[in-house]
Structure 1
């Protein structure tokens, strides 16, 4: 089963890029919080809001407009359920493997940036990026624990 919620349709920065992205992030967080509550997955709300904020901040800072956000509730055979957050932009993207390698290298530092993705790496069960002819999408998956509230059968939408 795959339920897709377009959290934030593609948008371009207005006169003030910072104000536009801050407003977009606030709106996205509100939609995500409401949808997770509807699905009975409130236990994922704090992590989901932090992850989507970090991904959108990176897209606005390093990518190109338009930006968009999607949230998917995924249910696979075998019972695995997770929420996937996707932030897309029209930029070329970054080499995620290089970011991860920098964390592992003894001289690597989070002082020059990368803390946001490190937070995503800590909270998400998996994350990565996909490239397309229109740009790229950075995604993160938050696992729905079977014994958590909302961890039962998926609601019909």
Structure 2
């Protein structure tokens, strides 16, 4: 039996993440916020990877630029999924515990904390959304 099939290549997580990072860099360039691109791409990578590893599809990404209001100009990166999520305060409390050591896993949110102005998460109905604000 000889048959031919047209296969649509479904992008894997790494392909999608690369496309998201490239799109984010282009958008930041359009907004004149190139200076935030390294930190923003790092935050996007960590939050997106966590959503894929621990969450449930579909994973959605949103990026907004805050121009005015109190505080510095900032870029908000939001990644949401349909998984159970996590408690940001519990994560921070674990970091403060005297027995805490950076393990082989679990450093991603620690990195997000280091490069962002603020970060957290919230549950919106059936979705969990992690967010981080990066200085521009």
TM-score range, shorter chain: 0.7 to 0.9
Structure of greater Rg: 2
Name structure 2 gaps, 5 residues minimum: 1-8
CA RMSD of aligned residues (A): 1.7
Q: Residues 67 and 78 (structure 1 numbering): CA distance in 2 closer, same or farther, change over 3 Å?
A: closer
| Matched positions, count | 128
Name the TM-score, length of structure 1 as normaliser: 0.76
Q: Confirm whether residue 110 of structure 1 aligns to residue 102 of structure 2.
A: yes
Distance, in Å, in 2 between the alignment partners of 1:84 and 1:60 is 19
Indicate conservation of the 8 Å contact 1:59/1:87, yes or no. Answer: yes
The structure that is strand-richer by fraction is: 1
CA deviations on 1:86-107 (whole Å, 9 max, x unpaired) are: 0000011011111111111110
The DSSP-based 3-state class of the residue aligned with 1:57 is helix
Question: Which of 44, 49, 57 does residue 57 from structure 1 map onto?
Answer: 49
Indicate conservation of the 8 Å contact 1:102/1:109, yes or no. Answer: no
Shift in Å, 1:79: 6.5
Shift in Å, 1:113: 2.4
Q: Residues 96 and 79 (structure 1 numbering): CA distance in 2 closer, same or farther, change over 3 Å?
A: closer
